[in-house]
Structure 1
Amino acid sequence: MGRMEGKVALITGGASGIGLSSAILMAKEGSKVVIADFNVEGAKEAAEKIRVQGGEATGIFLDAGDGKSIEEAVDFTVSQYGKINVLYNNVGLTNLRKDLDVVNMDLEEWDRLMNVNVKSVLLGSRYAIPHMIKAGGGSIINTASMAGFASDSIRSAYGASKAAVVNLTKYIATQYGKDKIRCNAVAPGLILTPAAKNNMVPEVLDVFSKYNALPYHGEPEDIGYTVVFLASDESKFITGQTIQVEGGHYIANPSIPDMKEFAKKTQS
């Protein structure tokens, strides 16, 4: 308790999943939190949940595709709580029906994902940094993805957008480090958010299990605890990094599980 005492945090996309888990954990550690989400009722419900647990939180509307809305969310945070110490740029979109391979993807979807997944990170940081400088420093955390490091047969725009987030994180860290502003990212693998549980059949989860180094899947809290660490002063000498939280899914030669199966067959 108290790892974020006295801090004020703005979490975008905080009404559910990873954002909600991060908001709850930040509040438990003493931070005042503003939960900004397109689902404004969900954001308000999340804030109420935190208040019932003894924390301090406010839920507001945010359209991450609208620069003015992002600016208003930052301004609201400062007007409500007097400052902003932490910005968690968590909003991200994906669309498996339109974001296909390079030849067949919907180009309008490319533009939409770049606007929401990358430009919202840029603008959130752009509007928060001057306030952070006045506050004596701060921590910006961005949600990247393992899709920014490993390619896929579809989701070309999503992967490119998340790779951009990884590199933008380094640029922000480089440009504002002397102002005591740190910028890091978290790259989740498969995380069992409510959306993942509702949209993934057991057979798909079994495929991920086969290639994970660990014998279980990630939960939203696994990202939330990482975010709290990056938001707190415990990580005061870490900046420009992307922490991969993915259960070891991407660390090994991808043929290892199949080779183990082959070895079993030859030994039997």
Structure 2
Amino acid sequence: MARVENKVALVTGGASGIGLSSASLLAKEGAKVVIADFNLEGAQEAAKQINEQGGNALGIFLDASKESSIQEAVEYTVEQYGKINVLVNNVGGTNLRKDIDVVNLDLEEWDRLMDLNLKSVLLGSRFAIPHMIKDGGGAIINTTSMAGFAGDSVRTAYGASKAGVINLTKYIATQYGKQNIRCNAVAPGLILTPAAKNSLSPELLDTFMRYNQLPYHGEPDDIGNTVLFLASDESKFITGQTIKVEGGHYLSNPTIPDFKEQMNG
């Protein structure tokens, strides 16, 4: 119950799903947590729930597309708790009506997603690192995606931005490791967040399950527990890595389920 005791964490996009799981688990294990989200009411409600369970959390507004808002979130964290030891860069999104194939995608959406998904990671790290250095080090955990490793018929800008997060993670780890700052990333596959449950049909979920190596889908806590591990001193010799948490979905030759079906038929 004290894996991150006395640490202070800022979790962006923390009002729901993966971010909420990360914030809740960090608080449960002793961290003081600031939950920053575009959904202010959701962030405050998440903080309230953590506090009612004996944790220590605050909820604030964050527009991750704006540099000033990101800087304010970092400075608020330091003002309230005196330091920042852990930064979870978890904001991300896409719009499947605009983020489609290369020829037809909306170029304004491309720019928006590069700001939201990639530049926000740069800026959060940029503002947090000087404070971490003053306090003797820290841990940065970036939420990327398996879309950063594999191509798709749509989500071109999303995938490119998430691939950028994977490489930016290595650059941060390389540039600030000697100051005792570790930077790692987590790449989720399909995770049954509330948004996913509300938007994915049973048929689509069955398709994903067909290609998973494990007989179940991922849950937010599967990512939250990975974030907790990377924030804790248990991972003190791990940096610059992207941990894939995706149930083995991308592990094997993609034709194997089809071959198995044919052989069993």
TM-score, normalising length: structure 2: 1.00
Identity of counterpart residues, as a percentage? 77
- Equivalent-residue separation in structure 2 for 1:20 and 1:58 (angstroms): 12
Amino acid at match of 1:60: I
CA-based RMSD of the aligned residues comes to 0.3
Partner of 2:76: 76
| Residue 165 (structure 2) aligns with | 165
Write the distance in 1 (CA, Å) between the matches of 2:97 and 2:258: 30
Task: Tell me by how many angstroms 1:91 deviates.
Answer: 0.1
Write the deviation string for residues 75-123 of structure 1: whole angstroms up to 9, x where unpaired. Answer: 0000000000000000001111110000010110000000010000000
Matching residue of 1:16: 16
Q: Using the alignment, how far apart are the partners of 1:118 and 1:201 within structure 2? A: 29
Three-state SS of the structure 2 residue aligned to 1:34 is strand
Give distance in 1, aligned partners of 2:94 and 2:264: 38
| Other-structure match for 2:42 | 42
Please give the alpha-carbon distance, in whole angstroms, between the structure 2 residues aligned to 1:79 and 1:69. 15
Equivalent in the alignment of 1:196 = 196
Give the SS at the match of 2:168: helix
The separation in 1 between residues aligned to 2:196 and 2:209, in whole angstroms, is 14
Deviations 1:129-166 (A, max 9, x none): 00000110000000000000011000000000000000
Equivalent-residue separation in structure 2 for 1:57 and 1:194 (angstroms): 22
Question: Paired residue for 2:109?
Answer: 109
**How much has 1:217 moved relative to structure 2?**
0.1
Q: Supply the AA of the counterpart residue of 2:72.
A: E
Structure 1 match to 2:89 = 89
* Alignment pair present for 1:154 and 2:154: yes
Q: Which residue of 1 aligns with 2:100?
A: 100
Alpha-carbon distance in 2 for matches of 1:35, 1:139: 16
Q: For 1:127, give the aligned amino acid.
A: F
What are the ranges of 5 or more consecutive residues in structure 2 without an aligned counterpart? none
C-alpha distance in 1 between matches for 2:140 and 2:66:
20
Query: Shift in Å at residue 49 of structure 1?
Result: 0.2
Letter in 2 for 1:157: A
Count the aligned residue pairs: 265
Measure the CA separation in 2 of the matches of 1:49 and 1:10.
Answer: 17
Give the distance between the partners of 1:118 and 1:209, measured in 2 at CA: 29
Q: Which residue of 2 aligns with 1:67?
A: 67
How much has 1:191 moved relative to structure 2?
0.0
Equivalent-residue separation in structure 2 for 1:123 and 1:245 (angstroms): 25
**Corresponding residue of 1:127:** 127
Gaps of 5+ in 1: none
* 1:264 Cα deviation after fit: 1.5
> What is the rounded CA distance, in whole Å, between the counterparts of 2:264 and 2:101 in structure 1?
36
Supply the distance in 1 between the matched residues of 2:94 and 2:206 (Cα, whole angstroms): 22
Query: Could you report, residue by residue, the CA deviation over 1:25-55 in whole angstroms, capped at 9, with x for unpaired residues?
Result: 0000000000000000000000000000000
Distance 1:146 1:49 in 2: 31
Cα distance in 1 for residues equivalent to 2:26 and 2:172: 23
